[in-house]
């Protein structure tokens, strides 16, 4: 305390003038200005990704009495997404997230609304296919969020950000189907689709409203740099195989539990797998990154656990095995997505991320179809070998193509390096 003339000046302790540094890697992540706002919008818009598929199936099958029609409609939407999503992502990279994502989301929301109206009105089947195909314009919100973190953070923090994004994916796919099923059964058959559409639109508006965190567009002229498809081709096969792990595991688990009269337990049991991946993703973000081959080796080993548990006929053992299998998923996905980030040409990150997601969706479709055939012909216990085989295939592809990632030292840039056999 000092007195200057008639003015009393109180001097605060020097330490109080310093801003307290956030504790932990996630505290530092969300200390970035604007990060909490765009993350809130990101989570709102991402939750419907786990809702739309099951909502459409329950709505169409409930109103039309045909699971075959419901499956065909959703499969058509998946195929349309595989074609349209990379194109939408390219426009986002070139012209900016807000400029492209908002109108693309409006088109997708109108497609969902049209689907609900057509189902309710008993419109011809072709209108259902056309309506659901329109939802393929839905922007890859996960890719856009990862692009923002890359723009805002130093390279040393990218691993933590990618881990958080993977955990967010799992959380939304954990909660989305549960919310959709509750709305479709307790409120109305169309409630899941309509709620998902509303959440998508509101979340995207909140996300894009935070313009200060948006990465600058690459420009409306010629696309900068080479196509990410060439750089990512070795990784896309791995993502395809990992997608087959997801698709085959889900179908096999549902069939296995239904065969034993435990169909009602399918949701909670599968939720354990997503919960394990969510928790592992958050934990992995606080640890040193591992090589892709190491993560895939752990994944291949963990996917053999449900196969072994299924042969015992014990539900608790199967649930525990799925929890451990899910925990092995997140590190592999985080590391693989980090490689996508490292190899994608500058200015085309969202396109690169979307190509990876498209490969995963293709793998899910192939894994689901293959698992259905194996279940019908060889039984559910044998079908549990498929996720382990797909994970082993991903490991062999990683070894054949090479590539690993290391957590960068302070200030170092994340790069991919070839890895020999």
For residue 89, what pLDDT is reported?
A: 85
For residue 64, pLDDT over 60 is answered with yes
Q: Domains of the chain: which residue ranges?
A: 35-217, 227-421
For residue 21, what pLDDT is reported?
A: 59
pLDDT per position as a tens digit, 15-29: 444 555 556 777 888
Say which CATH architecture domain 35-217 belongs to.
Answer: Up-down Bundle (1.20)
For residue 39, pLDDT over 60 is answered with yes
**Mean pLDDT score, 294-300:** 92
For residue 298, what pLDDT is reported?
A: 93
Q: Give 72's pLDDT tier (boundaries 50, 70, 90).
A: confident
Q: Establish whether domains 35-217 and 227-421 are of one fold.
A: yes
pLDDT per position as a tens digit, 150-165: 888 888 788 888 888 8
For residue 420, pLDDT over 50 is answered with no
Q: Give 224's pLDDT tier (boundaries 50, 70, 90).
A: low
pLDDT per position as a tens digit, 236-272: 899 999 988 988 887 788 788 877 777 666 667 777 8
CATH number assigned to the domain covering 227-421 = 1.20.1250.20
Which residues, at least 6 apart from 132, have a Cβ–Cβ distance to it below 8 Å?
56, 73, 74, 76, 77, 80, 111, 115
**Bigger pLDDT: 112 vs 375:** 112
């Amino acid at each position: 305390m000092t007195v200057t003339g008639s003015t009393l000046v109180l001097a605060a302790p020097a330490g109080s003038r310093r801003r307290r540094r956030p504790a932990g890697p996630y505290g530092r992540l969300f200390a970035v200005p604007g990060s909490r706002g765009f993350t809130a919008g990101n989570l709102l818009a991402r939750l419907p990704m786990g809702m739309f598929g099951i909502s459409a199936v329950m709505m169409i099958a409930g109103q039309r009495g045909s699971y075959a029609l419901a499956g065909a409609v959703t499969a058509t939407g998946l195929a349309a997404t595989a074609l349209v999503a990379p194109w939408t992502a390219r426009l986002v990279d070139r012209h900016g997230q807000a400029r492209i994502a908002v109108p693309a989301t409006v088109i997708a929301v109108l497609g969902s609304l049209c689907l609900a109206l057509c189902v309710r009105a008993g419109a011809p089947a072709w209108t259902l296919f056309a309506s659901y195909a329109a939802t393929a314009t839905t922007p890859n919100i996960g890719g856009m969020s990862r692009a923002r973190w890359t723009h805002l953070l130093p390279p040393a923090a990218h691993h933590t950000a990618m881990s958080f994004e993977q955990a967010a994916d799992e959380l939304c796919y954990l909660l989305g189907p549960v919310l959709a099923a509750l709305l479709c059964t307790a409120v109305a058959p169309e409630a899941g689709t309509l709620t998902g559409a509303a959440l998508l639109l509101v979340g995207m508006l909140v996300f894009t409203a935070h313009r200060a965190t948006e990465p600058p567009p690459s420009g409306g002229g010629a696309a900068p740099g080479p196509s990410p498809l060439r750089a990512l081709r070795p990784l896309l096969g791995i993502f395809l195989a990992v997608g087959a792990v997801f698709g085959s595991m889900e179908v096999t688990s549902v069939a296995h539990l239904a065969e034993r009269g435990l169909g009602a337990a399918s949701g909670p049991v599968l939720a354990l797998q997503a919960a394990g991946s969510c928790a592992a993703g958050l934990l992995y973000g606080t640890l040193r990154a591992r090589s892709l081959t190491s993560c895939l080796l752990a994944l291949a080993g963990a996917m053999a656990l449900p196969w072994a548990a299924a042969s015992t006929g014990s539900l608790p053992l199967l649930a525990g095995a799925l929890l451990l299998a899910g925990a092995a998923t997140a590190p592999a996905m985080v590391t693989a997505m980090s490689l996508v980030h490292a190899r994608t040409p500058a200015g085309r990150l969202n396109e690169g991320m979307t190509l990876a997601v498209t490969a995963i969706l293709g793998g899910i479709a192939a894994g689901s179809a293959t698992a259905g055939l194996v279940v019908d012909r060889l039984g559910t216990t044998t079908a549990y070998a498929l996720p382990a085989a797909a994970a082993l295939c991903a490991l062999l592809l990683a070894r054949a193509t090479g590539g690993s990632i290391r957590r960068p030292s302070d200030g170092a840039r994340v790069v991919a390096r070839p890895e020999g056999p």
